[in-house]
Amino acid sequence: MNLRPIDYRARHKRAADLMDQGALVVMSQPTAYRNSTVEHSWRQESFFQWLTGFEEPGSCFVLLANRPEGERTHLFVREKSPERELWDGRRLGVDGAAKTLMIDKAHSVESFWRMLPELMGDASRVWFNLGLNEEYDRNFIKALSQHKAVYGKKHLSCKIPIHDSLYLAGQLRMCKSPEELDRMRTAAGITRKTFEQVYKAVRPGMSEKDVYGIIQGEFLKNDADMESYGTIIAGGANACVLHYRDNNQPLRDGELLLIDAGAQFQYYASDVTRTFPVGKKFSPEQLAMYEVVLRSQKAAIAKATVGSTLPAIHEEAISVLTDGMLDLKLLKGSKDEIIEKAAFRRFYPHGTSHWIGMDVHDVGVYNEGGHPVFLDAGMFFSVEPGLYVQPDDETAPKAFRGIGIRIEDDVLVTEDGPEVLTSGIAKEVKDLENRW
């Protein structure tokens, strides 16, 4: 596996260039308890990881754009502790962080809140992610008060402007770098291998839980960190629940199986949905709906070009889906009126695209200055149209009730057009009906 290394100092410079002599304060992901004394599996906060590559909890990072190189980046980490390391794992410690990480200075995390007001100093503004953790927020506000008491006297205004660090993260991470693309392609490749095994294995009589086990095992076997998000394994009418999570019901011949799953590799996500028969063949109604969604997805992907927008992609998906809904008698009336009144949302209630990166719903604005963001090379997102007919919808033709279909791929904008990183995962009818 030939992955380009990540130059964190280059990332710090890119961030500083956008900060107008400001200070950026980024906190590590807090730990969370699943129940009693059992913690959820921990994963570093994405922007913290993007800036430092440091994978320990209880840490803080400060980037000071108004300081010279050598004094610009400060990482606060837990001290070495043989007793705690015996129970919880090795710590890099202050000296280890200073020697091995691409930072200017390392400090004990115990000193962070005491040092922060002085570090912010004459910064023109500060970026912080309010809302990540209540304790972080309380301590940050206290630090701002202490900063105001000392540095506010030097300025006409005694308040330092606060900006959302996730907006800055979006500016930095919206267009993917070559080293990021290496990792995203690897994540997509792991997801492809996983779906290949699922396609071979699924049979009537299995359960959603069986399939979930295969997916988790294949992710780990192929060197994924973990799943990028909570996997959806939805058989039959369960596919009509957009964020179905139970993953424990039997799979029956004659029904479809919707799988929404993606591997995370070195913090980069993939996000794929496929819908296929539990048995050998689509029913006529299933096939008719599936072909509508597939046509819609292909048409939408073709719009993923430099200068286009995500709303334009969504509108293309809606146009093809609406034609299909009219053909299938799911909707009646004129196409223009259906779209104008959003009547299609009865069967297609969600959007077509979201940014993908270190988070499966990645940072980055969708509109700027009242206009949608124009697509540029390096932007990476999902294209995922679907149709869902609720099982209790008595106004829909009976044969379509309880059918839910979604097809999702991960698309990279390039100067030469869209590149579908997950294109190797079968979605053509002939391939899905000849899996085994």
* pLDDT in the model for residue 1: 73
Q: Which of 108, 83, 103 is nearest to 93 (CA)?
A: 108
> Is the CB of residue 57 less than 8 Å from the CB of residue 32?
no
pLDDT in tens, 236-250: 999 999 999 999 999
Model confidence at 159, pLDDT cuts 50, 70, 90, reads confident
* pLDDT in the model for residue 100: 97
CA angle 46/50/54 to nearest 5° reads 90
Strand partners of residue 275: 258
Q: Write down the mean pLDDT value for the chain.
A: 97
* pLDDT in the model for residue 149: 87
b/e per residue, 251-261, with b = 16+ CB within 10 A?
Answer: beeebbbbbbb
User: Identity (one letter) of the amino acid at 125?
Assistant: R
Question: In the predicted model, what is the mean pLDDT of residues 418-426?
Answer: 98
Asked if pLDDT for residue 156 goes beyond 80, the answer is no
**Cα separation, 216 vs 287, whole angstroms:** 29
b/e per residue, 118-150, with b = 16+ CB within 10 A?
Answer: ebbeebebbbbbeebbeebeeebeebbebbbee
Q: What is the architecture, at CATH level 2, of domain 8-173?
A: 3-Layer(aba) Sandwich (3.40)
Q: Which of 409, 411, 391, 410 is nearest to 401 (CA)?
A: 391
Return the structure tokens found at 139: 């301590």
Q: What is the architecture, at CATH level 2, of domain 178-432?
A: Alpha-Beta Complex (3.90)
Any idea where the domains of the chain sit in the sequence? 8-173, 178-432
Question: Which residue stretches of 63-177 are H helix?
Answer: 82-88, 93-100, 112-120, 134-151, 165-173
What's the Cα-to-Cα distance from 335 to each of 303, 320, 321, 325, 340, rounded to whole Å?
20, 10, 10, 10, 9
Give the helix/strand (H/E) hosting 226: strand 226-227
Lowest mean pLDDT across 155-159, 259-263, 318-322, 429-433: 155-159
Question: In the predicted model, what is the mean pLDDT of residues 287-294?
Answer: 98
Model confidence at 49, pLDDT cuts 50, 70, 90, reads very high
pLDDT in tens, 323-336: 999 999 999 999 99
> Is the CB of residue 154 less than 8 Å from the CB of residue 122?
yes
Please give the biggest Cα pair distance in the chain: 75
- Cβ count within 10 A of residue 6: 17
User: Identity (one letter) of the amino acid at 229?
Assistant: Y
Task: Please report, rounded to a whole number, the percentage of residues in the chain having pLDDT higher than 70.
Answer: 99
Domains 8-173 and 178-432 share a fold: no
Model confidence at 157, pLDDT cuts 50, 70, 90, reads low
Task: Please report, rounded to a whole number, the percentage of residues in the chain having pLDDT higher than 90.
Answer: 96
pTM of the model: 0.96
